[in-house]
Amino acid sequence: MSIRHLHRRLIPLIVGFGVAVATQRHGPYYSVFSNTASTFFLRPLRLQCETDETQLIHYTLKVDDLLPQKRIPRLMFYVSCMIRFFQLGIYFIPALLTFPVAYLTQETVFKSSMKNWYKLLRWTLRKSGPTFIKLGQWASTRPDIFPETFCVILSKLHDDAYKHAYQDTIDIFRVELNSAPNEIFDTLDPEPVGSGCIAQVYRGVLKKNRKIVAVKVRHPNVENIIKKDLALMYFIFRSIDSIPSMEWIGFSRQWMEFGTMMLKQLDFRLEAKNLQKFGSNFRSDHHVVFPSPILELTTEGILIESFEEAFPVQDIIKLSDNRFNGLKSQVAFLGLHSFLKMMLLDNFTHADLHPVSYLNNFWLKTPFPVFVPFEESIESVDFIDDNRPIDDLPLHINSLQDPILKEFPNVYDPQLIFVDTGLTIQLAKPQMRDFLDLFEALVLQKDGYKVGKLIVERSPQKAPALNPVQFCSKMGEMITGLLQESGLNFVKHDFGEILLSVFRMVRDHHVVLDERFTNLGMSLVILEGLGRQLSPSTDLFEAAKPALLLALRKWINLKHECK
C-alpha cells in the first residue's frame, strides 16, 4: 500500500477515534481552548433563517458543515477532538468493558444483566454532555431499531441540570444583542427557572411594556462541543456501516438525521419561527396556546417569548377527587385533538414532546365555549347556567391548589400550552404520499398485507429486508386479527402496544422506517398514554374522527398532487 493511500486511511481512523468532547473547565460546556480560540478554529454553522422557509425546514447536515475549510484550523480542530476523545474514553470504558459480560449472561440466571447495562449506558450518556444526552433521548424514540427495554430505560434520560453562571448570560447578551440585560429588562431574575443541556430559561419583565417574558439563553460554547461530537459520530457510524450485520440500520443516515436535529435546536430563530406558525395554526382555538416570540429580541442564541403561567399536565393525573373527572377527560381529548390537528390538517407537528413540553392551566367558561369534548355533540354543550356565581370568580387559574377551582371545577375549561418547539415534523411530498398510501391501505382497504408491502417498499434503507414476504404476512395477520376482534377499537386495545408490536416486527426483519413516521408514532403513543391516565375510556380513533373527516378532502387532493 502506498504512503498516500495509507495516509488517507489513517487520518479518518485517527480522527474517528479521537473526536469527542473537549476537557471540562467548569462544566461540560467549556473546552480546553478558550471560547475565542474555539470560535476561530470551528467554522460557525449558520442556519439562514432569512432564506426560504422550506429550505430551512428541510435542511440536512453534511460533514463539511462541521469542519473548518483551511488546513491549520482543521488541524487544530482534529487536536481538540482528540482531547475530547480521551475525556469520553474515561466515561465510556466501564460500559465498553462490561458489555460482553452483560450480553453473554442475559440468557442465564443473570437475566437482568442487559437491563442493568442499559442503566449504566444511560449514566454514561448523561455524564458525556449535551450531544450524548440528546443522542440517548433520540435513540429512545427508535424502537424500530433498538430493543424495547433499551428504549424505555433511555427515555428516562433527562436533560443535564448544568447551569451556566449569570455573568455568562450577561456576556451572551452583549455579544448577541449589543446590550446588557438591564438595558432591556426592568427585572431579570438571576436564578434560572429551568435548565436543559442546550439552554436555560429566566423570568424577566421588559422595560418598554412591563410584559412578563421567558428568556431562553443558550449555554456558552455548546455549539462547538456539539460539532466535535457530531464529527466523532460521523466517523464512528461510518465504520459501523461497513459491518455486514449492521448495514441494514444505515448508521450514516441516522447520523445525518440526528445531527440535523441537533443543529436546528441550536438556532433559536428557528424555534421562534415555529412558535409563530403554531400560533397561526391554532389562532382560532383558545384552548391550545403557544408562547408568542418577540422577534426583534430573538437571536441565534437568545429567545424571548411570552411567559405562560401553568403547571405540568402530570399534576392533573395525580388528582383523586372525582369532581375533577370531567376536567381530566377534557384535557385528555384536548391533547389528542391538538396533536392530530398538527399531524393530519396542518402537516406541522411538535416533535419534542416530553413531560415539560406541554403545560396546563384553567380559564373561566364563557357563554360561547370554544372547546367541545369529542364525545359530545354541539347541541349538548354544557353552557354556563346564569345562576352560577361566576361574576365574582377569577378569569384565570394556574394552580391546582386554588380553592376556587376545587369548589367550582365544572365552571372552568382547561387550556393546553405547548413549549419547546425547536423540533418539528413537516412531511415533504414523497413522505406525504407514503403516509397517504399507508392510511388508504389500513383504514379504507383494511389490507394488512398491503400495509406490510408498502412499509418494505418505501423504506429508506439500502440493504434488503430479511424475509419481506413473511413480514407482510405477519402484518396482515395482526391487522386482520384486530379488525375481527374489535374493529380497531383502541379502548379495548392499547395503541402503544400495537405500535410497539409493529416496531418489533420491523426490527426483526431489518426494515427501517422513515424517521419522521417513527417520531410521529412515538409522539402519538406518548399522548395516547397520557390520555389513558387521565381518562381510561379514551379511544384514539374516536378522538381522531373530527380531524379525519376534515382532512379527507385535503388528503384526496394531496394524493393526486403527490403522484
**What pLDDT, in 10s, does the model give residues 519-540?**
777 777 777 777 777 777 666 5
Report the range of poorest mean pLDDT among 202-216, 297-311, 385-399.
Answer: 385-399
- According to DSSP, residue 293 is labeled B
- According to DSSP, residue 384 is labeled P
The pLDDT of residue 280 is above 50: yes
Report the largest interatomic distance among the alpha carbons of the chain, rounded to a whole angstrom.
92
Model pTM score: 0.76
Residues 457, 489 share a domain: yes
Residues 375, 298 share a domain: no
Residues 517, 432 share a domain: yes
**Total number of domains in the chain:** 4
CA 15 to chain centre: 30
Residue 466 vs residues 456, 457, 499: alpha-carbon distances, Å: 10, 13, 20
Determine, yes or no, domain membership for 122.
no
Determine, yes or no, domain membership for 142.
no
Question: Among 32-41, 72-81, 287-296, 552-561, which range has the highest average pLDDT?
Answer: 287-296
Residues 109, 191 share a domain: no
Higher pLDDT, 418 or 254: 418
> Tens digits of per-residue pLDDT, 468-499?
899 899 888 888 887 776 655 555 566 667 77
> Tens digits of per-residue pLDDT, 326-347?
778 888 888 888 888 888 788 8
Domain boundary among 424, 445, 477: 424
Q: How much is the pLDDT for 246?
A: 73
Residues 93, 204 share a domain: no
Question: Among 15-19, 144-148, 151-155, 181-185, which range has the highest average pLDDT?
Answer: 181-185
Residues 375, 276 share a domain: no
Q: How much is the pLDDT for 188?
A: 94
Determine, yes or no, domain membership for 136.
no
Give the residue-averaged pLDDT of 313-325. 76
DSSP string, 193-242: SEE-SSEEEEEEEETTT--EEEEEEEPTTHHHHHHHHHHHHHHHHHHHHT
> Tens digits of per-residue pLDDT, 5-41?
434 444 444 444 343 333 334 444 544 333 433 433 3
Determine, yes or no, domain membership for 517.
yes
- According to DSSP, residue 440 is labeled I
Domain that holds residue 545: 428-562
CB contact burial 108-128 (16+ within 10 A = b; e otherwise): eeeeebbeebbeebbebbbbb
Q: Give dist(CA 95, CA 472) in Å, integer.
A: 37
Residues 233, 174 share a domain: no
Q: How much is the pLDDT for 395?
A: 66
Q: How much is the pLDDT for 231?
A: 87
Nearest partner of 559 among 427, 424, 450, judged by Cα: 427
Domain boundary among 395, 424, 453: 424
Residues 501, 417 share a domain: no
Q: Give dist(CA 452, CA 468) in Å, integer.
A: 8
Region of 116 on the Ramachandran plot (φ > 0 left; ψ -120 to 50 alpha; else beta): alpha
Q: How much is the pLDDT for 388?
A: 44
Q: How much is the pLDDT for 557?
A: 65
